[in-house]
Amino acid sequence: MTIPFLEVDTLTMRFGGLTAVDALSFRVEHGEIHGLIGPNGAGKTTTFNMISGFYTPTEGSIRLRGEEISGLKMFEVARRGVVRTFQHSTLFAELTVLENALVGTHMPFRPNIFAAIVGWDTEDRRGAHARAMESLDFFGIAHLAGERAGDLSHGHQRALGMAVAMAAHPDVILLDEPFTGMNPEETNRMMELMRRLRESGVTILLVEHDMHAVMGLCDTITVMNFGRLLTEGTAQEVRHHPDVIAAYLGGTRHVA
Ligand SMILES: Nc1ncnc2c1ncn2[C@@H]1O[C@H](COP(=O)(O)OP(=O)(O)OP(=O)(O)O)[C@@H](O)[C@H]1O
Ligand SMILES: [Mg+2]
C-alpha cells in the first residue's frame, strides 16, 4: 500500500461549544491542485489553520508522507515543506514588497522575523535575495520590489502573499481565497500561474469561493459543510452533486 502524500484523518477542532471542524478526513495527492470548498463558516480556514500548525487540533491527525505533523509549530510545518497564505492579508504593510518576500525565504529556517531580516550572513542573504526576487518575478510583481506593501492594489497584495509563501520553496502551498478581489483578467492570469506551479511539482490545496477558478483548476475537490465532509470528487462530479447544490443554495453563494 502506498503512503498518502498528505492525509487529514478524523480531524476535529472545537472552540468551546462550537465544533468548527468535525471528524474531517481527506487525502491530497502529490502534485495535484486540490480544492477545499463549502459555504461560509464550513470550517475551511480552520482546517488550514490546523494543517499549517497555526492551531493544534482538538482531535485527529495530519500526516505528510506518513509522518505526523499535527501539533507542530508553524515554522516546523514550514520546514517540512508546507506553507500557507492567509485569507485576510497579513503582509507587513510598512515593509517593502522585497522585504516581505525576504521574510518568506526565511520562514522555514527561523521563526523570529527580526532575525530573518537582520541576522544572517552574506551567503544567506544573497541566496535569499535571489529567491525572493525570483518569486516576485514569477508572480509578475518584481517591478514593485521597492514599493511599500501597504500601498499595493488588492490584486497585487494577493500576488505578494503568494510570492512570500513561494519564496520558501514549499512542496505544498495552502491558499486561502487567493482570488478574492481580483478582476477577471487578474483571475485568469493567476490561474495560469497556479497551473505552472502544479507543472513544477508543487502540490496546491486551494480554498476558494470563485467557482470559475475552482472548477477550472482543481483535479479533486473536497466539499465541507458545517465542519463535515459533504462529498468529494472531480469538478464535474461535485458541481452536479445534489447535496452540494443544496448546501450552496442554503447559504449565500451559488455553485457556478
Ligand atoms: N478562533 C475561533 N474561535 C471561535 N470560533 C471560531 C474561530 N475560528 C473560526 N471559528 C468558527 O468556526 C466556524 C468555521 O469557521 P472558518 O473560518 O473555518 O470557516 P470558513 O469555511 O473558512 O468560512 P469562510 O468561507 O467564510 O472563510 C465558524 O462558525 C467560525 O465562526
Ligand atoms: Mg475562511
Kindly report the CATH class assigned to 82-169.
Answer: alpha beta
**What is the reported pTM?**
0.89
Side chain identity, residue 4: P
Distance of CA 112 to the CA centre of its chain: 21
pLDDT tens for residues 21-75?
999 999 999 999 999 999 999 999 999 999 999 999 999 999 999 999 999 999 8
Cα separations in angstroms, 163 against 83, 103, 147, 160, 191: 11, 11, 15, 5, 14
- DSSP type of residue 143: G
Three cell numbers, residue 255: 455553485
pLDDT number for residue 113: 56
Q: What residues pack around ion ligand 2 (CB closer than 5 A)? A: 45, 87
pLDDT number for residue 105: 84
- Does the beta carbon of 43 sit less than 6 angstroms from any atom of ligand 1? yes
Rounded to 10 degrees, the C-alpha dihedral 233/238/244/249 comes to: 160
- Does the beta carbon of 40 sit less than 6 angstroms from any atom of ligand 1? yes
Specify the CATH number for 1-72+173-181+203-256; select among 3.40.50.720, 3.40.50.300, 3.40.1160.10, 3.30.70.240. Answer: 3.40.50.300
Domain boundaries for CATH 3.40.50.300 within the chain: 1-72+173-181+203-256, 82-169
Q: Which atom of ligand 1 is nearest to the CA of 227?
A: 14
